Amino acid sequence: MPRFVQWIWKVCAIHYAIGLAAYLHFLITGSYRYLTWYFLVLGTLFFLLTTAAEFFLAFECRAGFEADEPMRMAWTFIALSSLARFVAAAMISLDHWRGASIPGSTSSVLLVILPRGLAQAGEVVGGPLSMVLLTVALSRILHVQRKFGVLRGLTRADLLLIGLIGAILLGEIVNIVRYLGPSYQHPPLTEAILWLSDPLLCFLLVQAILIRRSMIRVGLGLISQCWEMYVIAIVTTLAGDASIWASGKGLLSEPLIALSWYIWFFSAAAFASAPAYQLAAMTLQLHEGTIRKY
Amino acid sequence: MEQRGLLSEIDGGVLPSLILDDQSGDDMAIVELSRKMLSWSRLWFGSSGSCAPTEEHNLVRERLLSWLRLCIGQQASDVLASRGEDISLATSTPLLTAFLGRRAMRELSRRVLNDL
């Protein structure tokens, strides 16, 4: 495993260990005290750290390609997508500190200088905007894979899954059209943009399935592992989204709702380790037992 | 004579065969250059059906396969083989360049051809 990837997962494991202690405290006492502290302070730091690492690594990958190489464009969009997630994490955390009015602290200053609706704007930047950028990048990757004969056709299971995703998408579109109709109040712009999250995630999943099929064909090298990490990140994001939907519908118990929040850290770590694999391949890092003398 | 002296002064190690008399020196230099060009092109394009693979060919192939496995995947060589091509720098360069970039590929080629 490349050095950067090891660091990312070590930090993630430590973060989860602390989170487990907070969760156990919540299960035993029923108090949200440590759980809230864990998600608001350590959780925010973790998101800022992983998205910053992802942006740095993706930018380094981009720099490894020359201007006329097709993968440079892909890595430019991946770097922008990670930057969008970093900005979103910063905006959402700032909005929290803006709202937390502790007497005598600097948060009262934040209340004055920071605009309202910062969290929702952050959700748009880290959600649909970041997803659009990633979609463009993955389209480029698929184009390169097709060009070199690496891209593999879909199996029946894939087609079935894509059909299912298509049906969900159609349902979403019907809902969006219904909400925009005369019987409903016009939603704020940010809310309307956020409705695009699920369709975009579904589209990303289809792209991820295609990329994963190709990876199975060539085996798990460093580059393949990079795209495998994006697949894992997209699938876990989708799982996180589904858990939010299930929580909203009252399908999950209180302990399960709290447990479902932890999935976002795994997704963030997977997003960050993807460019780390690519960079390891580009810098031709040697690994013990793989290449002995050259 | 003056030119010969200058050439040997520039790099005696690179152009040893040029320090001969004019006519035979030119011929030998061309022969030597052709031999080197042929040797490098064989290394670059891999062994063909007309000539048996040498130890150097095998070494280049083995090194390339190691890098392909590490960077792309275990079955990367199968992808190239499915297109009816043997593993050589010429056949694997487009795939590796696409996913690693030209800079990384230059370094990889240097490592593959190192000591040969």
Distance of alpha carbon A230 from alpha carbon A268, whole angstroms: 10
Q: In chain A, positions 241-260, which contact chain B (CB-CB < 8 Å)?
A: none
Top residue of B56, B59, B72 to mutate, by most chain A CBs within 10 Å, is B72
pLDDT of amino acid A31:
87
The whole-angstrom distance between residue A185's C-alpha and the CA centroid of its chain comes to: 31
* B51/chain A closest Cα distance in angstroms: 26
Distance of alpha carbon A271 from alpha carbon A47, whole angstroms: 11
Q: Most confidently modeled of A255-269, B45-59, B75-89?
A: A255-269
- Cβ atoms of residues A260 and A247 within 8 Å: yes
Across the range B55-74, mean pLDDT stands at 81
C-beta atoms of A219 and B75 within 8 A: yes
Which are the contacts of B80, defined by CB distance < 8 A and separation ≥ 6? B68, B87, B91, B92, B95
Q: Is B87 on the interface with A (CB under 8 A)?
A: no
Long-range pairs, A290-293, Cβ under 8 A, ≥24: A290/B66, A290/B69, A290/B70, A291/B63, A291/B66, A291/B67, A291/B70
Contact list, B66 vs chain A (CB under 8 Å): 290-291, 294
Give the ipTM of the model, two decimals please. 0.71
> Which among B63, B69, B107 has the least Cβ separation from residue A221?
B69
Per-residue pLDDT of chain A (294 residues; tens, 9 = 90+): 888 899 999 999 999 999 999 999 999 998 888 998 899 889 999 999 999 999 999 999 999 898 888 889 999 999 999 999 999 999 888 887 766 655 555 555 556 666 677 888 888 898 889 999 999 999 998 888 888 777 766 778 778 877 887 787 787 778 777 777 777 777 777 777 788 888 888 888 888 878 877 777 777 788 888 888 988 898 898 888 888 888 888 888 888 999 999 999 999 999 999 999 999 988 876 544 444 444
Q: Which residue has the higher pLDDT, A227 or B21?
A: A227
Compute CA distances B29 → A212, B12, B41, whole Å: 53, 13, 18
Q: Which residue has the higher pLDDT, A232 or B83?
A: A232
> Which among A64, A71, A221 has the least Cβ separation from residue B76?
A221
Q: Which residue has the higher pLDDT, B64 or B5?
A: B64
In the block, residue with structure tokens 């085996």: A219
Phi, psi of B63 (to 5 degrees): -65, -45
The model's confidence at residue B17, banded by pLDDT at 50, 70 and 90, is: very low
C-beta atoms of A281 and B101 within 8 A: no
